[in-house]
Chain A
Amino acid sequence: MASLILMPALSPTMTEGTIARWTRNPGDAVQSGDVIAEIETDKATMEVEATEDGIFGKIIVDAGTENVAVNTPIAVLLEDGEEASAADALLTGASAASASASSHNEPKADAPVAAAPVAKAIEAEKEWGPTRDITVREALRDAMAAELRRDEDVFLLGEEVAQYQGAYKVSQGLLDEFGEKRVIDTPITEHGFAGMAVGAALTGLKPIVEFMTMNFALQAVDHIINSAAKTLYMSGGQMGCPIVFRGPNGAAARVGAQHSQCFASWYAHVPGLKVVAPWSSADAKGLLRAAIRDPNPVVVLENEILYGQKFPCPEDEDFIVPIGKAKIEREGKDVTLVAFSIMVGVALEAAAKLAEEGIEAEVINLRTIRPLDTETIINSVKKTNRVVSVEEGWPVAGIGSEICTVAVEQAFDWLDAPPARVCGLDIPLPYAANLEKLALPKPDWVVDAVRKLFRD
């Protein structure tokens, strides 16, 4: 049966083109794959191939014709022995044919409405019994040691993690216990070693990648986002990536702009990643253990200043903190303060000051940034009717922006004042002691922000 040859599309955006020349004449025998024409667009020249064997029957659109729309019939292909007139019937129905050719592009049904990921309801947190005061540094080390003992597929790699015992001594003692096969010093090449770790994770191994600071992970961010976070989806669920990217995040102390940045909102933006940001030793130990066991890529945002601080941490060997569950660190009825990482301490100090003024603040420690525990936030806002987010990072498109949006979208009728944000100043962090101090949130900023909510 005769068939029509349609104007092909040769790029994702091509809608029309020019037929530069025909390379076959009517009456020629052609085989599938033979070049029959050349077409041009404003950016490309391409050959058109026959898609079936047959006789090149008739040219419908002459060489030199410009602005030929994609899917327009441009020639006729005949079967052996057919007359050229066999094509005539086809031509009358041509517009219908070209319409159906593109119909597969139409979605079959309306796409579901986009929704921000929300942490699933998780049962009430377990009571873990007696605690002991340990530093955040020890908590992180203990978490890694426990998981390295538990699972042979877990290994740690990064700069100075082995012989040097960690640039910030977080991996102290791990080389001695687990050996150089599983505690691996890398060269200072984040792009390469993070990519290598992601590749190993795609086979099912469970690497912990330590970045000396999260600032240096910028060199590896392509692998964190394009390779680790997206492969499960792009593979139709075949290839998960069980990996942890961890390291100190945010400002340290007087190390200048390139070493002082909070990446919470960067990573929180990405579907396919989980993001946690521990504050206390219990957070650090419990969340890091959960991150290592998680079958997905998890970014663990630590804080250098917190490394040396001591907090009570459960002694139970099975202690773990579920990802996706915030913690109310202080209960209150008048205002909700939502914070993560080192800002939890700032919020608690602010709450103590506010209490002296008779304002009882509830302090939420997010612990997980993605997926966000909106349930805990919203329940608190419905109780206090006011909310202030506290973060060290920059204000624009920050975590505070998300908290305020969630409050407005889901608890608008309960709010007695607009949600407010306390953030680091919108500047690269300066070096001078006085300037640095002026740039980062402190308890008084939070107190001021809360007072404003009550003044209006």
Chain B
Amino acid sequence: MNETASVPVKGNGPALPPETMKRAYKDMLLVRRFEEKAGQLYGMGLIGGFCHLYIGQEAVVVGLGLHMKQGDKSITSYRDHGQMLVAGMTPRGVMAELTGREGGYSRGKGGSMHMFSREKEFYGGHGIVGAQVALGTGLAFANKYRGTDEVAIVYFGEGASSQGQVFESFNLAALHKLPCIYVIENNRYGMGTSIERASASKDLSRNGAPWNIPGRKVDGMDVLAVHQAAQEAIAHCRAGKGPYLLEMETYRYRGHSMSDPAKYRARDEVEEMRRTRDPIETLKAEMAKWGIDPAELKSIDDDVKAVVADAVDYAKTCPEPDPSELWTDILVEG
């Protein structure tokens, strides 16, 4: 199958209708501003434990999200705030979970790494590297079992891509032709270990090749490129042709979690990425080419800022969960 070949998608893929570009801009900005605030609240002691920010990787989840329809499922690791916002979960509910309040999606019992939404078909929020890949394969299995054309989008990092259960999942998905889009978010570093030092596979988009899973390497810093690749992958899955693998070449600007020695990569590398490849700036430039009025973008900026400020306010003032919550939701009664 020649589709297994790695086909780099050009950074300036097919342009989108202006309305779609504006939506992508708004979604990416929401994730960026939300995460910046989360980082600040962490510093203020309002968010505890682990907190993994998505800043820099926004184009990946936003580009895929543009194609999701009602009933499509998604699942990811602990770097999950962006996925939740794009799935349509409310910034208030997510931020309040980060601050451990009763208005959070898990009523304060999950935290940054563990949030879910039955309504939005978002299945977490998983803290064990690679676990979401087998679970996500099960989401695709359920779609097929029920005879729908819904798909499952399964996000994992390049660090998880060497996990045994990932390959077990590829095999199961290919055997059963499951509608599963595996998205490797290759941000180059699994915690502090670079991909070169962690994976002998030098082209992760080909990691599904033994099972004939078509794979594509995509510029994950360009939302237009992600959009185009996602369109193809999702159409493939909806048509019942089995799983598809997308390797998104992306970059996280921040540390792995909040506490990060930042000694494993040069500061210049981070600055260079921010300056030349930033997904939001790249889209802005594209929109300028299309003559989108900067005043419109300013209005989006203001809207996003207000939404995030409202979420922060809610998350700060919402009460902590009642102590009785300790003993609820351990088992389904009845």
Binding site for B on A (CB under 8 A): 6, 8-12, 14, 32-33, 41, 43-46, 48-49, 51, 70-71, 101-102, 104-105, 107-112, 117, 155, 181, 186-187, 189, 191-205, 222-223, 226-227, 231-240, 242, 271-272, 274, 295-296
Contact = CB atoms under 8 A, between A and B. Distances in A.
Contacts of A295: 332, 334
A49 B42 CA distance: 11
B220 interface: no
11 contacts: A8-B44, A10-B43, A44-B262, A48-B43, A187-B172, A222-B128, A223-B131, A231-B116, A235-B110, A236-B104, A236-B106
Given A196-B169, A203-B139, A12 B131 contact: no
Interface of A is mostly: loop
Interface in B257-272: 257-263
Interface residues of B, number: 69
A12 B43 contact: no
A112 B50 CA distance: 26
Interface in B114-138: 114-118, 123-128, 131, 133-138
B141 interface: yes
B288 interface: no
Contacts of A108: 320, 322-323
B164 interface: yes
B43 A8 contact: yes
Given A196-B137, A227-B131, 14 more contacts: A10-B258, A12-B49, A46-B255, A49-B39, A105-B48, A189-B171, A195-B165, A199-B123, A199-B142, A204-B142, A234-B125, A235-B115, A237-B329, A239-B123
B152 to A, nearest CB: 8
Nearest to B327: A112
A106 B197 CA distance: 43
Residue of B117, B126, B138, B175 most packed against chain A (CB within 10 A): B138
A271 B45 CA distance: 30
Interface in B296-326: 320, 322-324, 326
Contacts, number: 211
Contacts of B43: 8-10, 48-49, 51
A234 B116 contact: yes
Q: List 3 tightest A-B contacts by C-beta distance, closest first.
A: A199-B138, A195-B134, A192-B168
Residue of A9, A117, A181 most packed against chain B (CB within 10 A): A9
A202 B123 contact: yes
A104 B47 CA distance: 11
A43 B331 contact: no
A193 B168 contact: yes
A238 B122 CA distance: 11
Contacts of A49: 36, 39-40, 43
B107 interface: yes
B109 A234 contact: yes
B42 to A, nearest CB: 7
A14 B109 contact: no
Given A8-B43, A195-B135, A196-B138, A232 B261 contact: no
Nearest to B267: A45
A10 to B, nearest CB: 5
Contacts of B109: 233-234, 236
B320 A239 contact: no
A192 B134 contact: yes
Nearest to B316: A104
A46 B260 contact: yes
A11 B258 contact: yes
Nearest to B110: A234
Nearest to B102: A236
Nearest to A101: B45
B255 A236 contact: no
Contact of B40 (A51, A112, A194, A238): A51
Residue of A41, A104, A187, A205 most packed against chain B (CB within 10 A): A104
Contacts of A296: 331-332
A291 to B, nearest CB: 13
B330 interface: yes
B70 interface: no
A272 B123 CA distance: 18
B273 to A, nearest CB: 15
A6 B114 contact: no
Contacts of A109: 323
Interface string B77-118: 000000000000000000000000000111111100011111
Contacts of B320: 104, 108
Residue of A14, A189, A240 most packed against chain B (CB within 10 A): A189
B5 interface: no
B259 A46 contact: yes
Interface string B142-177: 100100000000000000000011001101100100
A112 B261 contact: no
Residue of B104, B110, B136 most packed against chain A (CB within 10 A): B110
Contacts of A11: 257-259
B2 interface: no
B44 A236 contact: no
Contacts of A239: 116, 118, 123-124
A274 B255 CA distance: 39
B260 A44 contact: yes
Residue of B109, B323, B332 most packed against chain A (CB within 10 A): B332
Contacts of A236: 104-110, 116, 329
B331 A196 contact: no
Contacts of A70: 45
A17 B4 CA distance: 50
A71 B45 contact: yes
A9 B329 contact: no
A11 B51 CA distance: 9
Contact of A232 (B48, B169, B326, B331): B331
A315 B142 CA distance: 34
B206 interface: no
Contacts of A45: 260-263
